[in-house]
Amino acid sequence: MATNLLNYDARRLADFCAEIGEKPFRAKQLLRWIHQSGVTDFVAMSDLAKGLREKLSALAVIESPQIMSDHEASDGTRKWLLAVGAGNGIETVFIPETNRGTLCVSSQVGCALACTFCSTGKQGFNRNLTVAEIIGQLWMANKLLKPDTEDVSPGTQRVVTNVVMMGMGEPLANFDNVVMALDLMLDDHAYGLSRRKVTVSTSGLVPALDRLRERCPVALAVSLHAPNDDLRDQLVPINKKYPLKELLAACQRYLAVAPRDFVTFEYVMLDGVNDSVSHAHELIKLVQDIPCKFNLIPFNSFPGSGFKRSSAESVRVFRDILLQAGLVTTVRKTRGDDIAAACGQLAGQVMDKTRRTANARAACIK
């Protein structure tokens, strides 16, 4: 079977070059062709020797997941459903803003962590995405969103300026593949994004968070959602394994090397569940020792969720209490509502094998 070069970061590509009898520096040229020019045909790689191009054509491919659907919302948000085999699909969302373009990338088919308010979590887990399937989302978006201009000096014309690992799945539960994809996002010969512009969002897998700190400390968002363990146990079940005290200690450790001097805490606003004035005060106390910002996410509903979005007034009151305590707090604008592209609405197509969910959950809470 042909080797899919989208699966390789710089080091693996250099190993691959060595295996086929080529100099390792060819890997850099290849990275640029694959990730910066978006070329899939080796014949078009004009600065590679003809012999090498022929060898590559025989041995390798550059393949990202097939697009099953492509929707654009009235606010410009774009959502792709990508086929990842066996009837499964994952979603990728592009959010254009005035001075930046953010791509929300998926890391798994489904998710085993079963947060009660999350559509992906409700569907169970099927499998981890490969490196090609993760980086392929950025590769594809850059290709499709390329501006209609001939001036494509590397990097400058990129429409995707920021990546957030906030699509389907828990990125830290697919650690090795996610980190290799992050390496490519940061590599100057590939996407050249700064560590500040790539964010991993996690529900709080503490050991993996420590490994991320050592291996590839990009910007960090932590899905907090509750100011105490009792409530968080119900909303984010992984909290039973890694309770708030441990999670917040891991955040402190992370901050020592993080590219930003704060952690972003995400907090989904659920009507009558976690959105009261006393919850806000409890939250302020909880994070008092941690440099952080808050991102309040009005709950995005989906069929059968059993939760309601907090009223605009409760969100405003909650935000103002945090602001008055000196915490930078934003309310996430719901984007792409008309195409179900908002946080927690990504459903994709998950052919769940219940046993897989159980096994994956066991692996996370081991």
CB of 53 to ligand SF4, least distance (A): 41
Q: Residue length, the chain?
A: 366
Does 203 help bind ligand SF4 (rule: CB under 6 A)? Answer: yes
| C-beta of 235 vs 283, nearer to ligand SF4 | 235
Q: Cβ-closest residue to ligand SAH?
A: 344
Nearer to ligand SAH, 65 or 171 (CB): 171
Backbone angles phi, psi at 45, to 5 degrees: -80, 80
CB 334 within 8 A of CB 269: no
Rounded CA separation 239/230 (Å): 9
Q: Hey, which residues does 312 pair with through a beta bridge?
A: none
Q: Mapping DSSP to helix (H, G, I), strand (E, B) and coil, where does residue 36 land?
A: helix
Is 131 in contact with 7 (CB distance < 8 Å)?
A: yes
In angstroms, the CA 28 to CA 13 distance is 8
b/e map 247-261, b = 16+ CB within 10 Å: bbebbeebbeebebe
CA atoms within 13 A on the CB side of 338: 8
Residue 292 contact among ligand SAH, ligand SF4, none, beta carbon within 5 to 8 Å by kind: none
User: Is residue 171 near ligand SF4 by the rule CB under 6 A?
Assistant: no
Q: Would you call 343 a catalytic residue per the annotation?
A: yes
Is residue 118 at the binding interface for ligand SF4, with CB under 6 A as the rule?
yes
Q: Which of 7, 77, 102, 120 binds ligand SF4 (CB under 6 A)?
A: 120
Smallest distance from ligand SAH to CB 158, Å: 23
Q: Which is nearer to ligand SF4, 32 or 79 (CB)?
A: 79
- Catalytic: 266? no
Q: What does the DSSP assignment read for 259-298? A: SSSSEEEEEEEBTTTT-SHHHHHHHHHHTTTS-EEEEEEE
Q: Which does 166 bind (CB under 5 to 8 A by kind): ligand SF4, ligand SAH, none?
A: ligand SAH
Kindly give, in sequence order, each residue whose CB lies less than 8 Å from that of residue 138, ignoring residues fewer than 6 positions away: 103, 105, 160, 163, 185, 191
Rounded to whole angstroms, how far apart are CA atoms 253 and 163? 23
User: Of 101, 121, 227, 336, which one interacts with ligand SF4 (CB under 6 A)?
Assistant: 121
Give the span between the Cα atoms of 348 and 341, in whole angstroms: 10
Residue 209-248 contact track with ligand SF4, rule CB under 6 A, x = bound? --------------x-------------------------
- The one of ligand SAH, ligand SF4, none whose footprint includes residue 299, by CB under 5 to 8 A per kind, is ligand SAH
Q: Which residues pair with 104 in a beta bridge?
A: 93, 164
Set 22, 91, 170, 266: catalytic member: 91
Of the two residues 62 and 342, which places its CB atom closer to ligand SAH in the complex? Answer: 342
274 interface partner picked from ligand SF4, ligand SAH, none, CB below 5 to 8 A per type: none
* Catalytic hit among 17, 118, 343, 364: 343
Residues that bind ligand SAH (CB under 6 A): 115, 117-119, 166, 170, 201-203, 223, 266, 268, 297, 299-300, 343-344
Q: Which is nearer to ligand SF4, 111 or 224 (CB)?
A: 111
Within 10 angstroms of residue 129's Cβ, the number of other Cβ atoms is 28
Taking the least distance from each CB to ligand SF4, the nearer of 48 and 164 is: 164
Residue 254 binds: one of ligand SF4, ligand SAH, none (C-beta under 5 to 8 A by kind): none
Backbone angles phi, psi at 160, to 5 degrees: -85, 110
Binding ligand SF4 by CB under 6 A: which of 105, 111, 172, 244? 111
Query: Which residue do the tokens 């363990």 mark?
Result: 229
Q: How far is the CB of 154 from ligand SF4 (least distance, A)?
A: 33
Output the smallest distance, CB 223 to ligand SF4, in A.
Answer: 6
348: contact with ligand SF4 by CB under 6 A: no
Query: Closest Cα partner for 158 from 76, 30, 33, 37?
Result: 37
Active site residues: 91, 343
Chain residues that interact with ligand SF4, rule: CB under 6 A: 111, 113-115, 118, 120-121, 169-170, 203, 223
